[in-house]
Amino acid sequence: MNLSVLKNKNYVLVVLGRFVSSFGTLLQNFALSLYVLEKTGSALLFSSVIAVSLIPRFFLMPIAGVITDKFSRKKMIVNMDILSGVFVLAISVLFLLKGELSLGVIYIIVITLNSINVFFEPSMNSILPDIIEKDKLADANSLMEMSGAIISLTAPIVAGLLYSTLGIYVILAINAVSFLLSAFSEAFIKI
């Protein structure tokens, strides 16, 4: 894999934006599962949070690409990250006010964020050919996939550490900030 694609500022902004928001989402999803396990003691409910996160992909993925093709990809990824950040920020405030999250609210969080992500992903994936030269596209995709694998491997570990030391509120706040930072970096992408 040729790392010369990292000289492309737009590509770096895309990778950083995706890395930060995806890491925050996986961190939060795993931590919410741990929260449910701690509150209920039920392994079934623990796994149900992860299972519920797949529902939007099943129902929305077939139409997401078609819908996202009708809009500016840059605006779509920036707006989806802002929407996610504001949503998680609102959930953080709700948690501060109530002191806990019900299982129903957790399901709403997971379904909402994964629904937004279903529209974010096709926009993000289709932006690469617009910012990377054709001969470097394979390297760019490989690096993007490698960063996704790193996220999948490390996010649950970090989530477990953060959850056990700082609690769910900090993870919600980190995820809200991760979305907003991601949107900020993606706003500078030039297509």
pLDDT tens digits along 58-111:
899 888 888 888 888 889 999 999 999 999 999 999 999 999 999 999 999 999
At residue 149, the pLDDT reads 92
Contact partners, residue 76, CB within 8 Å, separation at least 6: 68, 119, 120, 123
Confidence of residue 1 (pLDDT cuts 50, 70, 90): low
At residue 100, the pLDDT reads 92
Q: Which tens digits make up the pLDDT trace of 171-190?
A: 999 999 999 999 998 999 88
At residue 66, the pLDDT reads 86
At residue 156, the pLDDT reads 92
Task: Please give the structure tokens belonging to residue 107.
Answer: 């399901």
At residue 127, the pLDDT reads 86
Section 50-59 average pLDDT? 88
From the CB of residue 131, how many other CB atoms can be counted at a distance below 10 Å? 20
Contact partners, residue 33, CB within 8 Å, separation at least 6: 46, 47, 49, 50
Identify the sign of the CA torsion 97, 99, 102, 103: positive
Q: Which tens digits make up the pLDDT trace of 2-51?
A: 778 888 898 898 888 888 888 888 899 889 989 999 999 999 998 888 88
Measured between its terminal Cα atoms, the distance across the chain in Å is 24
At residue 96, the pLDDT reads 92
Task: Please give the structure tokens belonging to residue 181.
Answer: 């930072």
3-state SS of the chain is CCHHHHHCHHHHHHHHHHHHHHHHHHHHHHHHHHHHHHHHCCHHHHHHHHHHCCHHHHHHHHHHHHHHCCCCHHHHHHHHHHHHHHHHHHHHHHHHHHCCCCHHHHHHHHHHHHHHHHHHHHHHHHHHHHHCCHHHHHHHHHHHHHHHHHHHHHHHHHHHHHHHHHCHHHHHHHHHHHHHHHHHHHCCCCC
